[in-house]
Structure 1
């Protein structure tokens, strides 16, 4: 008799997604592990606009689908002893919610959690670091275009009776969700360092700094055997010898950079609002109404999920393409802001900070003798360069989330997609498209760390 798999791997897609988005990950898994070694479940119940319905609703659907799959496999004589969960984009947050429910129901007492991995997941939400009027405007407007999921991603929701945003609860050290994460033998994440129009590096990488904001001024270090794609998590960047330019050129370059940083958001305000606002907001309103109707049916237990089985204490100690493009482009347009020198805001204690930086770019500190000429300093001395990155102006909720998730422990792998500007899709080769070839390298690295 052929042996039956005892390991279940669950794949969860992202916002606006569907099971087809995970075809490459599923195929890669199957190429390495035959059907008698690994059973693969690609969840189906959150497809398309159903991802508008909130992380908690999606998480309940996934938990229910996993439990039904386990029951069906058991009826067919397959006893699952191990489980792994892989989440892409919003699917990573939904996965974190789902495993908390499974943990609370005792599933992990009989099934060993092995691998938990996220790809380009907004663990800290998608709000722009909070300083500046333009950033504030986008944080307010963006949160209201994706129904419940939008409110949760921008952290303006009040989750149930907690008085806090869902993402904050999801990362609470005393929650079932963090307790569930801690059960997994291996936890890892992959975060794009460039051109992710949906999920920027700091949130996918659970980081309060962004060492990759100005790639032209640093040397990126890669993992041996995965050069050009997988960045070395232990030694990600090194200083690059700065090019000496005349003072007036420096001022011109700096000013031009600032203008171009602001250009995307200004273009949106001046062009898109008078031309495309009606279509965009009408679609958002329609989807929000439909989402509220689905959530109501789900809460009433009329959507195929017996929700009463998932309404358990959350805290351990208390027992469509156009819309997607617009949302992604607007999220990507927001410049990052940093904490001021001497700021009373507290960053996460689990990560190094650079509180003394005033500007919005990294600082290359040159330990040289005092001189009036940069040219003379570099030509006459071998300058020792030191990278220093400012702390992003995150919220206190986000800093605490970083601390709690760091304490659980993730292996963090920055990813440098260079052949295509849509790195959010390329990181998992979401479609068979030219320029997405680097997704093969990412999958190869991920599978090299996947324990059967």
Structure 2
């Protein structure tokens, strides 16, 4: 019987494993071309089906993580039904998300889980590349950081509000990302079902999603590479860090105090210049295109969302509203956003603030309903700095500290990525363009994932 199910109607061997690839903000299926081609080179069509999601492309990514995930989920279900008509039977599924696509992927697997998918299909690999699991909100110590958070949150429609965690998701009264990381949610239950959970995060020069959020971390040890020893995996040196022991401080007598260097680097002239000056003086053309395009796309996005909510967008809401516990112009717009985001320095909790004080504040937020406790077990919130006690804790929000704790509890194997050549590591990590100079190191990253982490 098993052998019969492996044969398609035309007599060819049929794969049983489906891998879904999901691109990021402003993205399209072409962004995943290298990942898809690398998968296909390693696994033939009779071993693995590859679905590169396309229904959430380009400006459609403005419409929110939830709506994007509903589109992708419907695309997956439609694709599998077509395969079944041809005589194939999917028994395994893997999901790969890049950038915003990692959040869309986390939501989509929750929908699949709720619809009973994992009762008949084994979840195998869940992987994210440079995905902002904690959002992209800059730690808010300082007026210009607050301005950036406000500006960024209001120029990307629903996705912007969700990424900056200022939204109130449906009837929960909480940000979507907080709900997405709630230990009692369908999303976390679905995530826990996967046999392998892996993430890849750039340690430097990611202008779209900084290290702390892509690596799910409360610290950033890589602010000054001269002050640290980086420990690489021998076979993947100098691009992939050892996940068990990625970094250590150099002896104090060989370098200035780390906090002093961080303070000096974060008080450069550019960091003092107001965001509006950066917008309208240093990057005027990109900023104007960015703001105009953002306004137009936000209006269009809101119209699409209304159509979706009214059931006029071709997606049956009943299946997915389940209980929760222009290319050049677009490129200019993306670059303007990344340039602004890259100028936001990291901020840290005061050294005088004790760990107990931090725990108390976060627990207070839980007790007042801002962050809901799991029904199954009480989250033990703390500053997760034990492994990097020499590095200061970032000034994250209570929701972000809770996300770190919950996602660490479910467990990810974390690979820090050091791309040396390119200044656009967010795109290089997946070789978003095979003609772009400086993206070659991304092939090492994808190769590591295929050789060391992806299970057929």
Band of TM-score, shorter chain = 0.7 to 0.9
Structure 2 equivalent of residue 396 of structure 1 = 398
Larger radius of gyration: 1
1:434 matched to 2:447 = no
Matched, 1:234 2:244: yes
Cα distance change, pair 134–271 in 1 and its aligned pair in 2 (3 A): closer
Query: SS in structure 2 opposite 1:189?
Result: strand
Q: Counterparts of 1:163 and 1:387 in 2: how far apart (Å)?
A: 34
Correspondent of 1:345 among 358, 378, 386: 358
**Alignment TM-score, normalising by the size of structure 1:** 0.87
1:270 aligns with 2:286: no
Moved more, 228-237 or 158-167: 228-237
Q: Tell me what 1:208 maps to.
A: 218
2:223–2:262 contact (8 Å) kept in structure 1: no
| 1:335 corresponds to | 345
Distance 1:271 1:180, change over 3 A: closer
Structure 1's 45 and 254: CA in aligned 2 closer, same or farther, altered over 3 A?
Answer: closer
How far does the alpha carbon of each residue in 1:308-327 deviate from its partner, in whole angstroms, 9 at most, with x for none? Answer: 21111011xxxx11111111
Distance 2:332 2:88 in 1: 43
Matches for 1:23-38 after TM superposition, within 5 Å: 23-38=33-48
CA contact (8 A) 2:23 2:100 kept: yes
Q: Which moved more, 1:136-145 or 1:341-350?
A: 341-350
Equivalent of 2:171 in 142, 147, 161: 161
- Kindly state the Cα deviation for residue 282 of structure 1 after the two structures are TM-superposed: 2.3
- Deviation of residue 258 (structure 1)? 4.0
SS across alignment from 1:225: helix
State the aligned residue count: 413
Is the CA contact (8 Å cut-off) linking 1:426 and 1:439 kept in structure 2?
yes
Which deviates further from its counterpart, 214-223 or 116-125?
A: 214-223
- Give, in angstroms, the shift of residue 241 of structure 1: 4.1
Report which stretch shifted further, 327-336 or 104-113.
Answer: 327-336
Q: 3-state DSSP class of the match of 1:414?
A: strand
Q: What TM-score, normalized by structure 2, do the two folds share? A: 0.86
Q: Distance in 1 between matches of 2:116 and 2:342?
A: 40
Which residue pairs with 2:373 in the alignment?
Answer: none
Residues 53, 254 of structure 1: CA spacing in aligned structure 2 closer, same or farther, 3 A cutoff?
closer
SS in 1 for 2:273: helix
The CA deviation string for residues 80-104 of structure 1, in whole angstroms up to 9 with x for no partner, is 0000000000000000000000000
Q: Distance in 1 between matches of 2:162 and 2:42?
A: 36
User: CA-to-partner distance for each residue in 1:7-57, whole Å, 9 max, x for gaps?
Assistant: 000000000000000000000000100000000000000110000000000
Asked if structure 2 preserves the Cα contact closer than 8 Å seen for 1:115 and 1:450, the reply is yes
Cα gap change, 1:328 to 1:161, in 2 (>3 Å): same
- State whether structure 2 residue 449 is matched by structure 1 residue 450: no
Q: Give the Cα–Cα distance (whole angstroms) in 2 for the partners of residues 440 and 246 of structure 1.
A: 35
Alignment-derived partner of residue 122 in structure 1: 132
Closer, same or farther: CA 191–308 of 1 in aligned 2, 3 Å: same
Matched ranges for 1:315-394 at <5 A: 315=325, 320-340=330-350, 341-343=352-354, 344-346=357-359, 348-349=381-382, 351-353=384-386, 388-394=390-396
Give the match's secondary structure for 1:296: helix
Once the two structures are overlaid, the 10-residue window that deviates more, 280-289 or 25-34, is 280-289
1:422 aligns to what? Answer: 424
Q: Secondary structure at the match of 2:235?
A: coil
Contact 1:265 1:333 in 2 (8 A): no
